[in-house]
Structure 1
Amino acid sequence: MLALNIVDRSYLEFLQPLDHIQAAPPAFLWVEKLSVQLFGNNEYALRLFPLISGIISLIAFYKLGQWALSPIALPIALLLFACLRYPIYYTTEVKQYSSDVMVALLLSLLLISLRGQILGKGRALLLGVIGAVAVWFSHPAIFVLGGIEAVHLITAAPEKRKAILLNRWPSYLLWFASFGILYILLTSKVAANQVLRQQWGKEYPGSVFDIVWLLDSFGRFFYRPMGFRQINDGIAYFAFVIGCIVFYKTNKAKFLILISPTAATLVATYLHKYPFRGRLILFLTPFVILIIAEGIAWLLSQWHRKKVFAILGIVLAVTLLLPPTMRAADLIVNPERKEETRSVFEYIKSHKKPGDLIYSDRLNQFNYYGKMYFGFSDADAVPTFQDFWNPLGFSQQSWEDFKRKANLPSQQRVWFVFTALIPPEEAQVKPRLDQIGQELEYFKQPGSFTYLYELK
């Protein structure tokens, strides 16, 4: 759905709300559009920027880890960040979440390096420009900028705080002016989209005192977008709490800096301005991983004091590191395949006879792969049949009514394409198709399949 926006729109049109219930930062879309123009309309061109963002994020994460962590914790953190499920996955998807991580890490490194400094006019202006541009690349960049800089001001010596504020107010003004322009121009319109509001509405707390929601949502964070599976999400939560305690006791300033993007995001969530759930908060994963790693490292360092703590650290390290590491290693040999729709449309292209029609339960996939890749047109498509997944059962009469409206004659050959069905749904497909025609061919790929039927 996002790829259709990228391919179909001009650069200027990215300053308008997107089609197909999508939302993405304009600068991210501009880079994607440029990639398609330079390298052609294909998955590799579309996935190039997310992949580059993931690679840069690894380097930036290493630099941030050098500043934040003890020597024992750094390799633990790197292994987690490089191997966890969703940080890997989103570097291969045509969405902005991988670049959100990159922007968050780069901004963190920049702000930390300037902490407490009185900047010259040129450097203050450059800081303002970088932040102003960042919010156009990443929606949550404002949380990183505001959160970390607020901590720097809070932890600065009282006599220096006023000097820093006077020195950097032009930078702050540029940040919030840029964010304000983007919000008025685009973000507010996206936020007013009723479908998106309904989709994310349940992700907000009921009130400012809704502590149960906070604990539940933060617990879910370790499952997704962090990627810890089954009981390991609870174990990761436990390691995170230990890490928080260790950081707070040893270096409060570092702890506040690392936790500040999460705190800023939660403030926006409690104001019902930004959902705290899933891929939208992937940018917070590096900061949480650093805290988890420091918690494990502290336990491991207790071998000569309290062996029971060190043993607990070994258990946590093995439990949290082994599954993602093994899965990441397996991906090198067996890459993950989710919805191989292009292969299905490619099969149809090579086996389709003149006059054959195509029914797809995902119209956007037909529009992208069917039309743009393989040259099908609207004349090749059968409209979506809304009652196909009627939970009360397939209705022969509703199909006959649809068949007349769609002008489908008897003995018409139709390729039925289905994508991302769960097993119970997939099991329903063939019996229902058998009621309306005779099977001629079948082709299946991971996450997608097609039947060719001649209609009764």
Structure 2
Amino acid sequence: MKSLSHLNKSRTLSVGFVIFGVVVRLVQYLSNRSLWFDEANLALNIVNRSYLQLLAPLDNNQAAPPGFLWIEKLSIQILGNNEYALRLFPLIAGIVSLVALFFFAERYASQWATPIAIALFASLPYIVYYGTELKQYSSDIMIALLLSLLLVPVRYKILSYSQLLGLSLVGGVAIWISHPAIFTLGGLELAYLITAPHRERKAILFNRIPVYLTWLLSFGCLYFLTISNTINNDNLVDSWKARYPQSPLDLLWLLDAFGRFFYRPLGFIGIVDGVAILAFVVGCVACFRRNRIIFMTLMAPTVATLIASYLHQYPFRERLVLFLTPFFLILIAEGIVFLLSSPLKKKWIKGLGTVMLVVLLTHPTSYSSRLIFQPELKQEFRSVIEYVQSNQQPSDQIYVYFKGISHMKYYAPKLGYSQTDYSLGTYELPDEGEISSQEWERYQQEFEPFRGQKRVWIIFRVDDSETETLLSYLNTIGRQIEIYKQKGAFVCLYDLS
């Protein structure tokens, strides 16, 4: 009776945290913030291309799986070209991920680890943020969890024809929606083949050959149609180089990548990431001792991704490995629970578990609670353009600083502007370091066409630290009439006559 009471309490807590996570994501979604730079770049591809054209290399240094892009394209065709439609699938994926983690942890984690893992997943900043961003990382998590829920129960079974067909189709489609789905599929299946009873291993392997061939065929088509073209993008490739190990024996890179994972994408900041690492290590030991198969299930996608990274095929950094976060969080939760319920009669061990629980939960839950009342903003470019539209006069000129080009290209047609109604900058001042005289000269040339104009609207998409630098020259050649600032963007009206 006591254990049943505890089960009901832990389940109630888990459901409560799921609801909390859904509310946070819905509030963030409904706040309808402007698209920021990366979102605007991807949106332009989705809006301006056909379904077939989305298979070609994307413009603006973007990369996303075609299945995700097709879902986004369908969404704006049904619901219209707006932020709500573009962010709907990431929102749905974020909510489904919460529910999927609940069922996964209920089945395979210890009783009290479930609400802790869900509480962290519901509130950690990066996981919450990507649940309402026009990017594929929220659906990456969803696909990883759903595939795990599908594969774990059938790990050592001989599948029927209908099961083989279903598993083949689900895996083949998942690969087109989520690039890292192949690591979940391959990692889990390889782990289960290795750990299968020796006498049954060959039968399981032969039974699943059609499934594996289907997955390989699907991934091969995806690779040659889209991924191989993305690899030819020098800008993307250069941005990934530093994220790869230098050699197969580069253990320093492995330790660095492991440590960075707890800061980003998990989102533990400062000394807290050290606490999370300790909880994770303890959780690995506890889970391995309790159930080695479940431990391998939780670690298999990570191992597969690391192997790909050592082969320089997939960067093990930041948002690209966000799909691994639920598995890490379960192990962190297992570590906390192990310490809290330690059979050793030492108060300091349970005290350590309590401190870990409080330290790891305090920041994310307080952060996400604040989001309910004050949703996060990033680059409010839309409201800046709307302000110009509401206040401009017929003879006014409009100039958009280089960093705001993607935003302007997306929002201008929606607000009735044609390409002849504004001028786009062609030069960007460096973000860091001292600005040379040659750089200032290039920046100044941007405004030569507007000399003598009485009313010129100048729109910037910048960080707050750049504002003073960008305005310093304008104040020497004209008079500022008004300025309108929003988070990450502002517009000023100048008399340059």
Write the distance in 1 (CA, Å) between the matches of 2:327 and 2:443.
53
State the match for 2:487 in structure 1. 446
Deviation sequence 1:412-444 (CA, Å, 0-9, x none): 532222224142x22212222102321111001
Q: Does 1:49 align with 2:93?
A: no
How far has the Cα of 1:385 moved from its partner?
A: 4.5
Q: Does 1:184 align with 2:224?
A: yes
Deviation sequence 1:364-396 (CA, Å, 0-9, x none): 011011x23212222222231426448425666
Write the distance in 2 (CA, Å) between the matches of 1:291 and 1:332.
28
State the match for 1:376 in structure 2. 417
2:372 counterpart letter in structure 1: I
State the match for 1:81 in structure 2. 121
Q: Secondary structure at the match of 1:203?
A: coil
State the match for 2:3 in structure 1. none
State the match for 2:455 in structure 1. 413
Gaps of 5+ in 2: 1-40
Q: Secondary structure at the match of 1:417?
A: strand
Write the distance in 2 (CA, Å) between the matches of 1:400 and 1:87.
41
Q: Secondary structure at the match of 1:177?
A: helix
Q: Does 1:161 align with 2:204?
A: no
Q: Does 1:103 align with 2:115?
A: no
Q: Contact 1:442/1:449 (CA < 8 Å) preserved in 2?
A: yes
Q: Does 1:392 align with 2:435?
A: yes
2:234 counterpart letter in structure 1: Q
> Equivalent pairs: percent with the same residue?
49
Q: Which moved more, 1:293-302 or 1:64-73?
A: 64-73
After TM superposition, the structure 1 = structure 2 runs for residues 341-380 of structure 1, keeping only pairs within 5 Å, are 341-355=381-395, 356-360=397-401, 361-369=403-411, 371-380=412-421
Write the distance in 1 (CA, Å) between the matches of 2:89 and 2:428.
39
Q: Does 1:298 align with 2:338?
A: yes
Deviation sequence 1:31-80 (CA, Å, 0-9, x none): 11111011111100101000000000001001110122111111111100
Q: Contact 1:144/1:261 (CA < 8 Å) preserved in 2?
A: yes
Write the distance in 1 (CA, Å) between the matches of 2:99 and 2:77.
28
Q: Which moved more, 1:433-442 or 1:318-327?
A: 433-442
Deviation sequence 1:73-117 (CA, Å, 0-9, x none): 111111001010111000110000000000000000000121111
How far has the Cα of 1:248 moved from its partner?
A: 1.5
Q: Which moved more, 1:292-301 or 1:443-452?
A: 443-452
1:204 counterpart letter in structure 2: Y
Q: Contact 2:399/2:425 (CA < 8 Å) preserved in 1?
A: no
Q: Does 1:134 align with 2:138?
A: no
Q: Secondary structure at the match of 2:131?
A: coil
Write the distance in 1 (CA, Å) between the matches of 2:294 and 2:420.
61
Q: Does 1:121 align with 2:164?
A: no
- Measured at CA, do residues 189 and 398 of structure 1 come closer, stay the same or move farther in structure 2, by a change above 3 Å? closer
State the match for 1:58 in structure 2. 98
Q: Secondary structure at the match of 2:452?
A: coil
How far has the Cα of 1:452 moved from its partner?
A: 1.1
After TM superposition, the structure 1 = structure 2 runs for residues 189-268 of structure 1, keeping only pairs within 5 Å, are 189-268=229-308
Q: Secondary structure at the match of 2:242?
A: helix
State the match for 2:75 in structure 1. 35
Write the distance in 1 (CA, Å) between the matches of 2:437 and 2:82.
37
Q: Contact 1:394/1:432 (CA < 8 Å) preserved in 2?
A: no
Q: Does 1:271 align with 2:314?
A: no
CA RMSD, Structure 1 to Structure 2 (Å):
1.6
Write the distance in 1 (CA, Å) between the matches of 2:186 and 2:441.
59
2:416 counterpart letter in structure 1: G
Task: Give the aligned length.
Answer: 452
Higher RCO (CA-CA < 8 Å; seq separation 6+): 2
Write the distance in 1 (CA, Å) between the matches of 2:214 and 2:261.
32
Normalised TM-score (structure 2)? 0.88
- Measured at CA, do residues 201 and 422 of structure 1 come closer, stay the same or move farther in structure 2, by a change above 3 Å? farther
1:261 counterpart letter in structure 2: P
